[in-house]
A and B are shown apart, each in its own frame.
Chain A
Amino acid sequence: MNWSEQLRRRTRWSEAVVRVLLTACAAASILITLGIILALAGDALRFFTHPDFRWGDFLTGLAWDPGSKKFGILALITGTLMTSFIAMIVAGPVGLAIGVYLAEYASARVSRVLKPVLEILAGIPSIVYGFFAVSFVTPALQSILGNLIQPLNALSAGLVMGVLILPLVASMTEDALSAVPKSLKQAGLAMGSTKLETALQITLPAATSGIMAAFILALSRAIGETMIVALAAGSYPKVSLNPLGSVDTMTGYIVRVSGGDIPQNGIEYMSIFAIGLTLFLITLGLNFISQKIIARFREVYE
């Protein structure tokens, strides 16, 4: 017994070193978050304390035009929300239907074709979707709507963004539906309801929270999406509610400004960090809500 006690108590330096290294790796993730917050907040603070900056203008102004010192973030937020909502109008119902179809209807053979299609759609870089928006969707819309629609517009960007987030909504909906206990469905079928009635009136309501989480996550993805709006949505500097016209978005503005060579001490440079901080907080909030919903949903059925 004596030697075994000794063996157990021996300090194994290599084990200790490995442990420290691994802990450092995990801690790195916290450092990244801290880094993001500090990097954004540092320059955002310089923006908020700049003599040309006024809170009233920032929060309620209807134009974002650094040239004439107008910094109303509502102009960018409306643009972002408009493209994102158009995307959700496409991806919400269609993604939901695909999810229901995959979870409840599709035969193994159909799934074998459909799932890779969704995976490929999800794996296509967003810049490719941006190109698709300007080189196919916008001309197609112009041939239908004629002069009503501007060459750069929120509708085209939103529609294509809908395709981008479609796989996310579809696969998360499918997961949520598959997580509903089989016994619920069987009870429905036993009561004489059709396959459709079971799917729409029993499975779907039981998976509501999971589907809500999917929608919120998709919205967050759409809000943070950059290259499609940078190429296709334009740069109209005022609040506009016309989906056929140009809008400016938070991400589009950041890319446009940082793509040019702007001086580090100019207010434009600082302003992108304030927008970045706003964007970060919005997406963080949405992701957080989505996670909370999923966590609660898991508890209900496990």
Chain B
Amino acid sequence: MMFPVAGHEDFHPNMGSRKVRAATWNGIFLASTMVGVLALVTLVATLVDNCFGAVILQDAVALTDVSDAGKTLEGLDAPQLRQALQSAADQDLISPGRLAILERDGPLATRTAEDLRFLLIHEVLQPTVERAWGLTDTLFHSDEIARVKQEKFPDAELVFRSWITPDFLGRSQSRDVLLTGIRGAIIGSLIIILLAVCIALPVGVGAAIWLEEYAGNTRLNRFIQTNIYNLAGVPSIIYGMLGLSLFVRGLEGLTSGAWFGIEGVNGRTVFSAGLTLALLILPIIIINTQEALKAIPQSLRWSSYGVGATRWQTIWHHVIPAAGDRILTGTVFGVSRALGETAPLVVVGASAVLTLDPSGLFSKFTTLPMQVYTLSQQPQEEFKHLASAAIIVLMIILLGLNSVAIVLRGRMKKTKEAA
């Protein structure tokens, strides 16, 4: 033994158990951190799993009924496709009225083969999704899937489908699972966020400047500060109810555009949604801006005062530029939060079904998270796949937004250092 202390044998015997205890707890700590990592991995895996996979497509009309030129659509050229459409019209598989509408939109004789193929598929053949599987099932239970196809849908087509496609992004909502898209939802989300930021950023930064640079330590100011912290903790659904009561009902004339001569709309508009989200992100922007201003050294302000600048000149020319990168980060944080919010917009009145894109402040709206909510509620399997595709789009937008902020912050820092 290293140290000749009397009675050291008294504590020596418990060293073993103490070491075991330390190792056990170390294991517990590691396992707990793994819970977090595992949750994230499972979540991402679930999304990817649902976004790709095998589907069984059953045509309402077989291709061979309308064309004898070939077995696959890809093998047909434009004249053969035109012939197939004509033959479908002859057999009453497509109504003459519908054909006339298509002809008026663009004469069939001048349409491309690709265009005609699309028409033939969706106007005549009209495939529907009979069954859909996730990626893991598709990879590991392919024989089972093939068996189901053989037994239940012998003349159907088994294809591998990515539920997230350029068409999914670019099309508006439709009842047809294969044709539906989220263009309106993406546009809606972007307009509403833009509106919310345009309102909340100036007010939020203004409030933060007042609290940090002007306000003294009075009772009233402490109350305002506490109040802002409390607002940041108010559940988002409460903001939705404020929006419903104040903007949708109370200021209906303003938010429906009735005061500006727009008629036939109620208050459940883009405008109401933008205002509601502006209130929601205001406390976040205030608190983050305050943190940014606190981080600016007092010496910067003193040197500005020293050369005779007024308070506002100091703030405008020195403090805000110096805090710009942090204010930007805080704003992006608020925007990310607003972009993913669903509950307040359900309450304010986002449309579950909206086939027209929002065209301005006073149109009805839907957003990306709202579409995820609507799709997730449907009992049919294929809507689950659509929901996960919409979620992936939402997450990519969020990720892109945060990356842009990181790049911008880096650039602002560099110019600051150079100056």
> Which A residues lie at the B interface, using CB under 8 A?
12, 14-15, 18-19, 21-30, 32-33, 35-36, 39-40, 42-43, 93-94, 97-98, 100-101, 105, 114, 117-118, 120-121, 123-132, 134-136, 163, 166-167, 170, 194-197, 200, 217, 220-221, 223-227, 230-231, 251, 254-255, 258-259, 264, 272-273, 276, 279-280, 283-284, 287-288, 291
Contact = CB atoms under 8 A, between A and B. Distances in A.
Given A42-B245, A118-B36, A121-B36, A22 B209 contact: yes
Given A166-B35, A167-B36, A224-B238, 15 more contacts: A22-B207, A25-B204, A32-B231, A35-B246, A101-B30, A124-B340, A127-B369, A135-B50, A217-B233, A224-B234, A226-B235, A258-B244, A280-B238, A287-B229, A291-B229
B214 A98 contact: no
B236 A231 contact: no
A130 B43 CA distance: 11
Contact of A36 (B35, B211, B238, B249): B238
Given A98-B36, A105-B29, A259-B346, A225 B207 contact: no
A226 B207 CA distance: 29
B312 A101 contact: no
Interface string B198-213: 0000111011011100
B238 A29 contact: no
A200 B29 CA distance: 12
24 contacts: A15-B312, A22-B209, A26-B206, A29-B227, A29-B283, A33-B227, A94-B32, A100-B29, A126-B340, A126-B343, A127-B340, A131-B391, A163-B39, A166-B39, A200-B25, A223-B235, A224-B235, A227-B343, A227-B373, A254-B237, A258-B346, A258-B347, A259-B347, A283-B234
Nearest to A286: B233
B380 to A, nearest CB: 13
Interface residues on B, range: 35 or more
Given A22-B206, A194-B18, A114 B33 contact: yes
B270 interface: no
A105 B26 contact: yes
Interface in B372-408: 372-373, 376-377, 384, 387-388, 391, 394-395, 398, 402
Nearest to B391: A128
A137 B207 CA distance: 43
Contacts of B312: 14-15, 18-19
B241 to A, nearest CB: 5
A132 B372 CA distance: 11
B36 A251 contact: no
Contacts of B369: 125, 127, 227
A16 B215 CA distance: 14
A192 B211 CA distance: 48
A26 B211 contact: yes
Nearest to A282: B235
A227 B235 contact: no
Given A25-B207, A279-B238, A273 B245 contact: yes
A125 B245 contact: no
Nearest to B223: A30
Given A196-B25, A251-B343, A276 B36 contact: no
A30 B228 CA distance: 8
B319 interface: no
Nearest to A167: B36
Given A194-B18, A195-B22, A224 B33 contact: no
B238 A40 contact: yes
Contacts of B395: 124, 128
Contacts of A217: 233
Given A105-B26, A231-B377, A283 B233 contact: yes
A33 B21 contact: no
B279 interface: yes
A35 B280 CA distance: 13
A280 B35 CA distance: 31
Contacts of A132: 42-43, 46
